[in-house]
Chain A
Amino acid sequence: MNNKLKQFISGADKISLTKEEKNSMRSALVSYIRSNPATNQVFFQHAVSTQPWFLTLFNSRLAPVALSLLVLLSLGGGVSLAAEKSLPGNVLYPLKIHVIEEGRAMFALTPKEKAIWASERMSLRLSEAAILVSRGELDADTADEIENNFELQAENFSEQTDQLEDEGLIESVAELNSDLEAVLGMHVDILKTFAQKSNSENNNESAGNLAVNVNAQKENKTFVRLHMEERISNSSQNIASQAAERRLKEAERKIARLRSDFEELKSVLSAEAISKIEFKLALADKAVADGKIKLESDAYGEAFILFGRAHRIVQETKLFMDANKEFEIDIVTGGEVNDDTEDENGEEIEDIDDDNSLVTGEDKLPEKAENEEENEPKEEEEDGFRINFDIKSRLGL
């Protein structure tokens, strides 16, 4: 169904108003607005403030946050640190998500930065859930609380990516959705693994339900990503070529970084985890190699898609590696899990997963991968998107 729908979308995109139609409708709308003026400025408020920025904060809807930050500062670093490591149910947890994280959100200025921070917060909520499930402490109420906070950030993420899309930054929208899709996919696997291993029925059910909802979000990101990739593929050769080149550089840098992290952590990982990570690295290399072939043959759209696939494999593998290290448990990925839950929320785009088979359960190890030489660029630039599963430092275990 996926290909058919992609064709359909491709055709549907060509339906639009002509320039004349659009202008004529706009003129009619302007006349209507003039004859029905707004009574006040409720829709958008862009008045220029003459106050200093810190006073503006206390007059805005951020006032509670600003006030809490002041309180937090007065309490000292110890409380702040403890709050940052707290989990749902802990008395300091609201301070963590409503004050510390909100405070950090204020430093995200652009829609892209805001979307990245929203996705990191989504990942943090799921990491917290994983810790609670691993302890057998994820009851229904706590799962609801986590899910509500997760959904809140999911909405925030969508709002920011919508804005990017409105600004025509399709490449960023594709990249952000692709990264988040990979991270959510791995969180689903982690939750399902713990749900299967848990002895507590409540714990098991809460983790299972949460995994279903996270999976629905993941499928939504898959759909958006596919749509954006389609649009990039259909854009001009010049735009698609530049997008593919950028994606290639980032993919190579991320693979190099993952390989380096993997070498450092190898000693604390199980043989099975090591084997899976090597397999995933080979898949990422293969996607990059295939993408380069497409690039050389000027198939820029396809190259962009393949490099994006490499990104997702890297994101997913990084999270897999961190989770295996922290929990000392082999996370069952993609096709290995008995996934019979899709019909509840996600099956409507089951076809779309076909396109994503490299990242989920249908991986096939490329034949040459084991003999390929490592190609590790030494650039040290920061990745645009960080996966937060560094549990010891961030969550206090």
Chain B
Amino acid sequence: MVNNNKMNNSATEFLKSYDALSDALFRHCYFRVYERERAKELVQETFMRTWEYIAKGNEVKNIKAFLYRVANNLVIDESRKNKPVSLDALREGGFDIATPSHAEAIATGIDAEKVLAKIAKLDAPYKEVLIMRYVDGFGPKEIAKITGESENVISVRLHRATKQVTTLIHEQQA
């Protein structure tokens, strides 16, 4: 039983999950909605909804995947009230996009800012898989589990999204 003074094991373990995953989830939400404050709210809501589910007696086998699934659903709801995104807004949000070394930037002729700008312009499903893959580090199978799509659909989507970003960057450079 939980009372105001003492938490049970589930609560303690859940808070450990918060400590371990809140930054990563925040990053995920941030790159999906591009607003720091909104991303924070989404993270908060994700943990609360997940706890609510657990508190009702439901079992969660993979807490990480579960949290991302909840966050993803919240972001999708959010995207229905979508707003245009600008790089200035990202900078204001604190993303230091000029991070590559000079040598790397010179060697590739490109920097992270351009990649980010292009990702921001993609359709929501493409943006979703790219962020999960390259920011969160999930593989196609894990993304499939989180989004509820098949692995093949995710693989194809990733392939197309990567191609779109590459094409957009090349067009800009040309």
Chains A and B come from one and the same complex: yes
Whether the Cβ atoms of A3 and B107 lie closer than 8 Å is: yes
**What's the Cα separation between A4 and B18 when bound, in Å?**
31
Among A21, A44, A351, the one with the most B-chain Cβ atoms within 10 Å of its Cβ is: A44
Asked if B2 and A347 sit within 8 Å, CB to CB, the answer is no
In contact, B31 and A12 (Cβ under 8 angstroms)? yes
Chain A 1-53 residues near chain B, CB threshold 8 A: 1, 3-5, 7-17, 21-22, 25-26, 28-30, 32-34, 36-47
Whether A3 and B31, one on each chain, are in contact in the complex, defined by CB atoms closer than 8 angstroms, is no
Q: Is B155 an interface residue (CB 8 A)?
A: yes
Count residues of A near B (Cβ-Cβ below 8 Å): 58
User: Are A4 and B55 touching (Cβ within 8 A)?
Assistant: no
Q: How large is the interface on B (under 10, 10 to 19, 20 to 34, 35 or more residues)?
A: 35 or more
CB contact list, A151-186 vs B, under 8 A: 151, 154-155, 158-159, 162, 166
Check: A220 CB closer than 8 A to any chain B CB.
yes
Q: Which of B23, B139, B140 contacts A16 (CB 8 A)?
A: B23
Q: Would you call B112 and A8 a contact (CB within 8 A)?
A: yes
Specify which of B7, B64, B159 lies most central, judged by the most chain A CB atoms within 10 Å of its CB. Answer: B159
A386 CB-CB contact with B under 8 Å: no
CB neighbours of B172 from chain A (8 A): none
Report A-chain residues with C-beta under 8 Å of the C-beta of B19.
26
A81-123 near B? 1/0 per residue, CB < 8 Å: 0000000000000000000000000000000000000000000
Q: Which residues of A contact B147 (CB under 8 A)?
A: none
Asked if B137 contacts A44 (CB within 8 A), the reply is no
B64-78 to A contact mask, C-beta < 8 Å, 1/0: 100000000000000
A155 to B111, CA, bound (A): 34
Residues A216 and B155 in contact, CB atoms below 8 Å apart: yes
Contact check, B40 vs A17: say whether CB atoms are below 8 A apart: yes
* Majority secondary structure, A binding face: helix
B57 in the interface (beta carbon within 8 A) = yes
User: Do A32 and B95 touch across chains, with their CB atoms under 8 A apart?
Assistant: no
Residues 27-63 of B contacting A (Cβ, < 8 Å): 27, 30-31, 40, 43-44, 47-48, 51-52, 54-60, 62-63
Within 8 Å CB of B27, what residues of A? 12-13, 15-16
Partner of A22, one of B1, B23, B142: B23
Whether B89 sits at the interface, judged by CB under 8 Å, is no
A276 an interface residue at 8 Å Cβ cutoff? no
Chain A residues lying within 8 Å of B110, measured Cβ to Cβ, are 3-4, 7
| Chain A residues near B (Cβ < 8 Å) | 1, 3-5, 7-17, 21-22, 25-26, 28-30, 32-34, 36-47, 151, 154-155, 158-159, 162, 166, 216-217, 220, 223-224, 227, 343-349, 351
* Interface residues of B, Cβ cutoff 8 Å to A: 1-4, 7-11, 13-15, 18-23, 26-27, 30-31, 40, 43-44, 47-48, 51-52, 54-60, 62-64, 94-97, 99-100, 104-105, 107-108, 110-112, 114-116, 119, 133-135, 137, 139-142, 151-152, 155, 158-159, 161-162, 165-166, 169
A-B contact pairs, 29 of them (CB 8 A): A1-B165, A4-B108, A7-B110, A10-B112, A11-B95, A11-B96, A12-B134, A13-B27, A14-B96, A15-B30, A22-B22, A34-B4, A37-B11, A38-B8, A38-B55, A39-B56, A41-B9, A43-B13, A43-B54, A43-B59, A44-B9, A46-B9, A151-B141, A216-B155, A223-B137, A224-B139, A345-B140, A345-B152, A349-B158
